Amino acid sequence: MKKILVKISKVVIPAVISLFFFSSIASAHVTVVPKTSATGAWETYTLKVPVEKEVATTKVTIKAPAGVEIMSYQPVPGWTYSSDKDAAGKVKSFTFDATGEGILPGQFQQFVFVAKNPDKATKAAWDAFQYYKDGSVVEWTGDEGADSPHSITDIVKAATTDHHDTKTTEHKEETKTTDTEKEDVTSDSLPLILSGAAALLSLIALVLAFRKK
């Protein structure tokens, strides 16, 4: 029995360690949704900032992608908003700064803002800088596949119609909201999927161990 337990532990322990490692990576990225939007649209974006360390996040700064005009933001209790503008008065970057404890370990915070998309199709890269209470800064500025990638919104050419239908517009807005919610659900459910995979591997290892007995 002791040998069986040793065999099981050699498989289960690494699987559990991998589970927590990959789950933390999957849920720690700073993201901006929606991932797809239309050219020229006034889009409502949501910035999601999770905490990946054992200290609080106290500030986050976002650089406005080329051609994207930041128009307004939704106030968040416990946070102040400021922006850096160019000579033409357009926002180059904006910052949410905590007035209290900030975002604590195991938590995340969402910040909502409105921006006008460029008129030409492009990929808008949201470079983000996450500041922690211990003075460390995580720069979410890498390309896809990097350790700290920036979030990207694909700005695609908007479809044109000859008339404006209010009901159709409302339906599109509802669909957009649903799609955004699905993106968040998919992102948040990934750790659960990994957890299930780890549990399945553990069960298989247990069965194999008993067969070799």
The per-residue pLDDT for range 123-181, each reduced to its tens digit, is 999 999 999 999 999 999 999 889 999 999 999 998 764 444 444 444 555 555 555 55
In a domain, 212, yes or no: no
In a domain, 151, yes or no: yes
DSSP per-residue codes, 57-94: EEEEEEEPPTTPEEEEE---TTEEEEEEE-TTS-EEEE
Six token digits for residue 48: 């999601």
Our count of domains for the chain comes to: 1
Q: How confident is the model at residue 89 (pLDDT cuts 50, 70, 90)?
A: very high
In a domain, 171, yes or no: no
Give the tens place of pLDDT for each residue, 102-128.
Answer: 999 999 999 999 999 999 999 999 999
The CATH number of the domain where 51 resides is what? Answer: 2.60.40.2230
pLDDT of residue 12: 45
| Helix or strand holding residue 132 (H, E) | strand 128-132
pLDDT of residue 162: 45
Q: How confident is the model at residue 1 (pLDDT cuts 50, 70, 90)?
A: low
In a domain, 4, yes or no: no
19 touches 25 (CB < 8 A)? no
Of 83, 149, 141, 162, the residue nearest 115 (C-alpha) = 83
Give the tens place of pLDDT for each residue, 34-88.
Answer: 999 999 999 999 999 999 999 999 999 999 999 999 999 999 999 999 999 999 9
| Average pLDDT value over all residues in the chain | 80
Mean of pLDDT values over 7-25: 44
pLDDT of residue 159: 78
In a domain, 132, yes or no: yes
**Does the pLDDT of residue 28 top 60, yes or no?**
yes
114 touches 44 (CB < 8 A)? yes
DSSP per-residue codes, 5-22: HHHHHHHHHHHHHHHHHH
The range of the structural domain enclosing residue 124 comes to 34-159
HSE-CB at 157 with a 13 A cutoff on CA atoms is 3
In a domain, 93, yes or no: yes
In a domain, 8, yes or no: no
Give the tens place of pLDDT for each residue, 177-208.
Answer: 555 555 554 555 555 555 566 666 666 666 56
In a domain, 9, yes or no: no
pLDDT of residue 183: 53
Of 52, 68, 175, the residue nearest 108 (C-alpha) = 52
91-98 and 128-132 beta bridge pairing: unpaired
Task: Report d(CA 203, CA 199) in Å as an integer.
Answer: 6
Side-by-side strand order, sheet with 128-132: 79-85, 91-98, 57-63, 128-132, 137-140
Which of 36-40, 92-96, 208-212 has the lowest average pLDDT?
Answer: 208-212
